[in-house]
């Protein structure tokens, strides 16, 4: 794994220097090291498509066979409180990646400066919390469900960005309001269709507004990503279209480099007593004609009964189809290839979820979950490697053990 020198330096500083200070008085520098993980298996009823956790995974599960591929994760995080105002944070995670490896990767590696209780500035590698709860997606113990909603978070394959953010927290009414701005660059890869899409060099920027009062948290956010690289599987078709001399507009629609995607989201969470409820909506709009716009949402509720917390939810993900037309002179074969490429990014499905979380002991939880995915046969994006016989329906059973240490 390629690791930038400043990230390595930051992690080593937190680990080595922090150990040297660990025995100092409370007002001196301190080091805290924590870990988290998930051991899980899942199976899908359909052998016509693969169920994956999100876009970062090259293969999913299918055909009624149990697999630990998609949900098993292990992470370690170090926090070095160098001074009362300055903290260094590093997080390394091993998960199933775009290249089918589990090579540990640096998720977080940032310095945080808080000159007072209202203002916080961070710089380095930061979690991409483009949507509510997005920056804790890999910490299974913090989630009520086995995994964050695939319909809602699936298209958000960005886990981090290299840059900076600034947040300001102030009292408002009976609660606290927090505004945050962020910006930086993205360098992640995702398997899309049959090839790897490298987003290295893409820039991102955005705004986040949170309001917390009692058991309620509300969030509104918007984020932009401007891509620097095209999606490879569409490049050859674009060349063919331009060579035909009459389909330049259709070829331009396949270009992604230089275009922008906008992510807008709204979220609300309630957690008090035995009841926990989450509701979220998002809208994703692409300038590129190749990528269909979409909207998604989910509603999730759980009720605590001692150590057991059953939960139920529903989520959906729908594309708003674009159809840049080919000229009438295009051949039947060219039309067929064009339709296949445009169909890769179509999502049209609803998922019904039932499950239970059992707090086995301190810092450990066992979860069992059933997801009933009901979509159209044209819904290709959420489930990779779909076959011609795919009807958009599958049932996924999952069992995991989440832990923190």
Residue 356 phi/psi, 5-degree rounding, is -150, 140
Q: What is the mean pLDDT of residues 360-380?
A: 93
The answer as to whether 86 is a domain residue is: no
Q: What is the pLDDT of residues 159-218, one digit of tens each?
A: 999 999 999 999 999 999 999 999 999 999 988 767 888 999 999 999 999 999 999 999
Whether the predicted pLDDT of 260 surpasses 50: yes
> 243 by DSSP, 3-state: which?
helix
The answer as to whether 92 is a domain residue is: no
Distance CA 99, CA 302 (A): 35
pLDDT grade for 19, boundaries at 50, 70 and 90: very low
Q: What is the pLDDT of residues 64-93, one digit of tens each?
A: 889 999 999 999 999 999 999 999 999 999
Query: Are the C-beta atoms of 349 and 317 separated by less than 8 Å?
Result: yes
Instruction: Please tell me the predicted confidence (pLDDT) of residue 18.
Output: 39
Instruction: Please tell me the predicted confidence (pLDDT) of residue 385.
Output: 82
The answer as to whether 160 is a domain residue is: yes
Instruction: Please tell me the predicted confidence (pLDDT) of residue 11.
Output: 40
Query: Largest Cα–Cα distance in the chain?
Result: 79
Distance CA 261, CA 157 (A): 13
Mean pLDDT of the chain: 89
Share above pLDDT 90 across residues of the chain, in percent, rounded to a whole number: 69
Determine whether 376 is exposed, middle or buried from the number of CB atoms within 10 Å of its CB (0-12, 13-18, 19+).
middle
Q: Which domain holds residue 236?
A: 27-72+116-404
pLDDT grade for 329, boundaries at 50, 70 and 90: low
Instruction: Please tell me the predicted confidence (pLDDT) of residue 25.
Output: 52
The answer as to whether 356 is a domain residue is: yes
Q: What is the mean pLDDT of residues 219-225?
A: 97
Residues 50/133/222/3 CA torsion (nearest 10 deg): -70
- In the chain, how many domains are there? 1
The answer as to whether 58 is a domain residue is: yes
**Least confidently predicted of 105-114, 183-192, 208-217, 352-361:** 183-192
Q: What is the CATH number of the domain that holds 292?
A: 2.40.160
Instruction: Please tell me the predicted confidence (pLDDT) of residue 208.
Output: 98
Cα dihedral 50, 334, 292, 290 sign: positive
Instruction: Please tell me the predicted confidence (pLDDT) of residue 334.
Output: 75
Please enumerate in sequence order all residues whose Cβ is within 8 A of that of 247, keeping only pairs 6 or more positions apart, or say none.
241, 326, 327, 330, 334
**Least confidently predicted of 41-45, 129-133, 137-141, 260-264:** 129-133
């Amino acid at each position: 794994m390629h690791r930038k020198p400043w990230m390595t330096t930051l992690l080593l500083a937190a680990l080595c220097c922090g150990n040297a200070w660990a025995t100092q008085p409370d007002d001196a520098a301190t080091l805290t090291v924590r870990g988290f993980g998930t051991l899980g298996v899942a199976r899908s009823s359909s052998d016509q498509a693969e169920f994956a956790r999100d876009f970062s995974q090259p293969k999913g599960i299918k055909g009624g066979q149990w697999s630990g591929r998609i949900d098993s994760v292990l992470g370690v995080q170090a926090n070095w409180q160098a001074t009362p105002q300055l903290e260094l944070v590093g997080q390394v995670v091993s998960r199933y990646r775009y290249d089918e490896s589990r090579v540990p990767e640096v998720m977080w590696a940032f310095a945080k400066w808080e000159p007072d209780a209202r203002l916080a500035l961070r710089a380095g590698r930061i979690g991409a919390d483009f949507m509510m709860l997005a920056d804790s997606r890999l910490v299974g113990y913090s989630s009520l469900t086995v995994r964050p909603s695939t319909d809602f978070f699936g298209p958000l394959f960005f886990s981090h960005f290299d840059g900076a953010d600034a947040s300001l927290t102030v009292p408002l009414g009976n609660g606290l309001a927090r505004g945050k701005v962020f910006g930086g660059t993205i360098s992640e890869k995702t398997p899309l269709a049959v090839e790897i899409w490298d987003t290295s060099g893409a820039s991102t920027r955005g705004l986040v507004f949170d309001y917390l009062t009692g058991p309620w948290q509300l969030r509104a956010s918007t984020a932009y990503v401007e891509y620097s690289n095209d999606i490879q599987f569409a490049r050859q078709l674009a060349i063919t279209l331009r060579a035909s001399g009459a389909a330049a507009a259709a070829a331009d629609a396949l270009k992604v480099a230089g275009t922008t995607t906008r992510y807008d989201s709204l979220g609300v969470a309630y957690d008090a007593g035995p009841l926990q409820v989450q509701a979220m909506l998002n809208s994703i709009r692409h300038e590129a004609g190749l990528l269909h716009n979409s909207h998604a949402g989910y509603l999730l509720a759980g009720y605590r009964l001692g150590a057991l917390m059953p939960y139920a939810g529903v989520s959906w993900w729908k594309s708003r189809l674009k159809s840049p037309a080919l000229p009438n002179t295009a051949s039947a074969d060219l039309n067929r290839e064009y339709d296949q490429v445009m169909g890769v990014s179509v999502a049209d499905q609803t998922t019904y979820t039932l499950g239970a979380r059992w707090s086995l002991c301190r810092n450990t939880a066992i979860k069992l979950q059933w997801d009933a995915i009901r979509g159209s046969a044209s819904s290709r994006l959420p489930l990779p490697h779909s076959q011609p016989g795919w009807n958009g329906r599958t049932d996924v059973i999952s069992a995991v053990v989440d832990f923190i240490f």
